[in-house]
Amino acid sequence: MIAIIDYGMGNLHSVSKAVERLGYEAVITADPAVIAAADKAILPGVGAFGDAMQNLRETKLDEVAKAYAATGKPMLGICLGMQLLFSESEEYGTNEGLNLLPGKVVRFAGDYKIPHMGWNKLSFLQGESPLFSGLTEGHVYFVHSFHVKPELSSDLLATTDYYQQVTAIVGRGNVYGMQFHPEKSGELGMQLLGNFLKI
């Protein structure tokens, strides 16, 4: 069973339907016991980093997520959910994240269109990652105004190019993150989500 963590911010149902289309049972839940019992957990998210962390803290789901990551079972953050895995964000002031991965979320800065929105090609940096098993590089769908700067290059699994190298996929041990929406990214997105669910 795949637990999709419901903290009041996220495209929960589209992620749930994508998981089910891949042949897995998904449950949208805020129940710590259900999350703890799950085979895998997904932390989705749409919106502002600070609001998301406030919701997680108020519901104690921040501690639930950290405890889940500590079990060694696979965990995936999607879009804002990926950003929440990191130490802090500068969105609307400095906000502390879950700190499962070291790094900072910063705003795009430059004379180009923000948010970064559209289809961009992935570059796999660590081809041996189980996420990339059997896959070739292709395009996925991004919508974001902030991007992650990981402290450790070893946590960076894939990037895309948007006037600079942009973090697209991260991972360390059992904790993974995708900045794009795999459930809205066509065949490659579904294959990446499927590979996560196979881990």
Which residue positions in the chain have pLDDT lower than 50?
none
CATH code (residue 179): 3.40.50.880
pLDDT at 13 (0 to 100): 93
149: domain range?
A: 2-198
pLDDT at 127 (0 to 100): 79
- How far, rounded to the nearest angstrom, does the alpha carbon of residue 133 sit from its chain's CA centroid? 19
pLDDT at 9 (0 to 100): 87
Number of domains in the chain: 1
pLDDT at 55 (0 to 100): 96
Is 181 a known active-site residue? yes
Active-site residue, selected from the candidate residues 79, 91, 116, 147:
79
Is 183 a known active-site residue? yes
CA–CA separation, 35 vs 118, rounded Å? 32
Active-site residue, selected from the candidate residues 144, 147, 181, 187:
181
pLDDT at 50 (0 to 100): 95
Query: In 92-164, at which residue ranges do the beta strands (DSSP E only) sit?
Result: 95-96, 101-107, 116-121, 123-124, 139-144, 146-150, 156-161
Active-site residue, selected from the candidate residues 20, 58, 183, 187:
183
Q: Which of 175, 196, 192 is nearest to 183 (CA)?
A: 192
Is 139 a known active-site residue? no
pTM of the model: 0.97
193 is written with which tokens? 């989500």
134 is written with which tokens? 């059997």
